[in-house]
Amino acid sequence: MKKGIIIFWVFIISCTFSNAQQGKVLEELSMSSKILQDSVNFSIYLPFDYESSKRSYPVVYLLHGYTDDQTAWVQFGEVNRVLDRDIASGKLPPMIVVMPDAGVTWYINDHKGEVLYEDMFIQEFLPYIEPTYRIRTKKRYRGIAGLSMGGYGAFVRLEIP
């Protein structure tokens, strides 16, 4: 009986500590864009200590693939679980990860000048996101990565101003 009680308490304590290190994902957020004349949806991962600290964090912009949207990295890639694990183990520093929806724009301005996604990203999205979420604003604290179409978008945007 004592062994069962001990196992129970070890389980409760381990669940408590594992939950204490979980970040928060906010989905279905949006920003109004004058350039696109539409709203831009995005998801964001905030590290476990975001609400309890006053610090600013580095940021990674994580770009989805063709036909996906701002929820793909959480829904299919479980990016929040990977980040929680690697931040808790010390492999990664606490960071904010922003996942914008780009439709099928390839994250660039189209050749006809009709859909100016790249202009929106630089001129509106970054200036909206970074002061809203306590992000370190020097470019050395910004990263960008993507999958498929998002990989292309990250490649052409290797350096975010």
- Please tell me the predicted confidence (pLDDT) of residue 160: 76
Q: What is the pLDDT of residues 18-38, one digit of tens each?
A: 555 899 999 999 999 999 999
Query: How many CB atoms are located within 10 Å of the residue 53 CB?
Result: 12
126: closest CA among 147, 141, 106, 146? 141
Q: What is the pTM of this model?
A: 0.87
pLDDT-based confidence at residue 1 (cuts at 50, 70, 90) = low
How far apart are the C-alpha atoms of 128 and 107, rounded to whole Å?
Answer: 17
Cα-based angle 57, 60, 64 (whole degrees, multiple of 5): 150
Q: What is the pLDDT of residues 129-152, one digit of tens each?
A: 999 999 999 999 999 999 999 999
**pLDDT at residue 125 tops 50:** yes
Q: Which domains does the chain have, with CATH numbers?
A: 23-156 (3.40.50.1820)
- Please tell me the predicted confidence (pLDDT) of residue 12: 43
Half-sphere exposure of 19 (CA within 13 A, CB side): 6
Q: What is the pLDDT of residues 71-85, one digit of tens each?
A: 999 999 999 999 999
